Amino acid sequence: MNAREQADAHVRAMMRWHFEPATGSRYWLDRRHQLGFDPVEDVRCVDDLLKFPNLVDELRDVPVEDLIPRGLDATEKVFAVYESGGTTGAPKRFVMFENWFDQYMAWENSQYPDDGTGHALAVAPSGPHMLGEYSKRIAEARGGIRFSIDLDPRWVKRLLAAGDTAGAGAYVDHLVDQTELVLQSQDIAFLITTPPLLARLAERASSRALIQEKVRLVIWTGAHMDPDTLDYLSTELFPKTRFRGSYGSTSVLSGTVQRTAPESTGDTGDTGDTVFDSYAPFVIYRVVDPASGLPVEFGSEGTVVMNYLTKYGLVPNSLERDLATRVPSPTGAGDSLRNIHPVAEVDGQKMIEGVY
């Protein structure tokens, strides 16, 4: 079978796993007969995942025990319960299993064999957010130690929503102060942070000089970075430092790998564009027309939809708060993404990106 056929077979296997009484979770078994179709009989390929309604908002208050598949044996350990950022209301919760985290990180790390070794500094949220543990595993895979500056992105969003830009700015300055102390005393090769925080670090001359002196690779994630800002940071301010983005979502308990698009074929965009690939067939992205729910043409912009399809959990057709240009994926399963940026509003509510 080719990669697309393997992905379709994986979809069918996951439908059987999550909707059979012996293996499925209480959440999905209870909903099987409410869907208006039979997922085992009617979802036969990647494209059929579009049949699912977007039920992810229900995960704001579902008991996490109801999300755990019955078919998992006692050797499968829950590592953590991670939460979404809470941008559009109460956070949604997702169960991370240790073996899935290991599997995903092994795949991502295998895509970047030339990173070298060294310590990492993460200026990023931990607690209920996946990014904290992700940064620790990035450091460990590169033979280093993870230093960290914690932050509460929800507090920043609350300040901004209340119009307290001075309070939000003071909080970010507090984070930059702490970051400088680590950079001054430690040999940091990898900086893992969000674009808004990276911008503030670049604005301050002292922290900018420390990054220029020490950091070999910046991994940015957790928020939007427009191409002009990325170009300015990587060519004007930090020309000796490599930059890498990772786009992901807590809903699919994973990120992406970044690649540079080949020469334009008329489908993938301009030569040299940055493209993000998911860990297919376990994580599948689609770019759809928000009105029809159907995929847009390659090279066109639409809303990002994510699917998480593992034996550890099922999150189909999760409508994200981001827009992106649709790009053919390397495997033919789902889509890859470029030019990712947040929507302005969700259900009439203005989006506040903050620092994460």
- Reported as a single tens digit per residue, the pLDDT across 263-318 is 544 443 344 589 999 999 999 999 999 999 999 999 999 999 999 999 999 999 99
Q: Which of the four pLDDT bands, split at 50, 70 and 90, describes residue 348?
A: low
Residue ranges, CATH 3.40.50.12780, the chain: 3-101+250-350
Q: What is the arithmetic mean of pLDDT over 51-55?
A: 95
pLDDT at 165 over 80: yes
- What sections of the chain are H helices per DSSP? 3-19, 26-31, 39-42, 98-110, 130-141, 153-161, 165-185, 195-203, 205-214, 227-231
Residue ranges, CATH 3.40.50.980, the chain: 114-246
Per the CB < 8 A criterion, the answer to whether 222 and 231 are in contact is no
**pLDDT for position 344:** 76
Q: Which of the four pLDDT bands, split at 50, 70 and 90, describes residue 202?
A: very high
Which fold is adopted by the domain 114-246? Rossmann fold (3.40.50)
Question: What pLDDT digit, counting tens, does each position of 69-125 carry?
Answer: 999 999 999 999 999 876 667 899 999 999 999 999 999 999 999 999 999 999 999
**Nearest alpha carbon to residue 346 among 64, 84, 126:** 84
Query: CATH assignment of 3-101+250-350, given 3.90.1520.10, 3.40.50.12780, 1.10.490.130, 3.90.1200.10?
Result: 3.40.50.12780
Q: How much of the chain exceeds pLDDT 90, in percent?
A: 84
**pLDDT for position 6:** 96
Q: What is the pTM of this model?
A: 0.92
**pLDDT for position 354:** 63
| DSSP assignment of 203-246 | HSHHHHHHHHHH-SEEEEESS---HHHHHIIIIII-TTSEEEEE
- Cβ neighbours, 10 Å, residue 328: 16
Q: What rounded mean pLDDT belongs to the chain? A: 92
**Stronger pLDDT, 88 or 343, i.e. the higher one:** 343
**pLDDT for position 271:** 40
Quote the tokens at residue 322. 């981001």
All residues at 6 or more sequence positions from 269 whose CB lies less than 8 Å from its CB, including other chains: 261, 275, 299, 325, 327, 338, 339
H or E element that contains 324: strand 313-328
Q: How much of the chain exceeds pLDDT 70, in percent?
A: 93
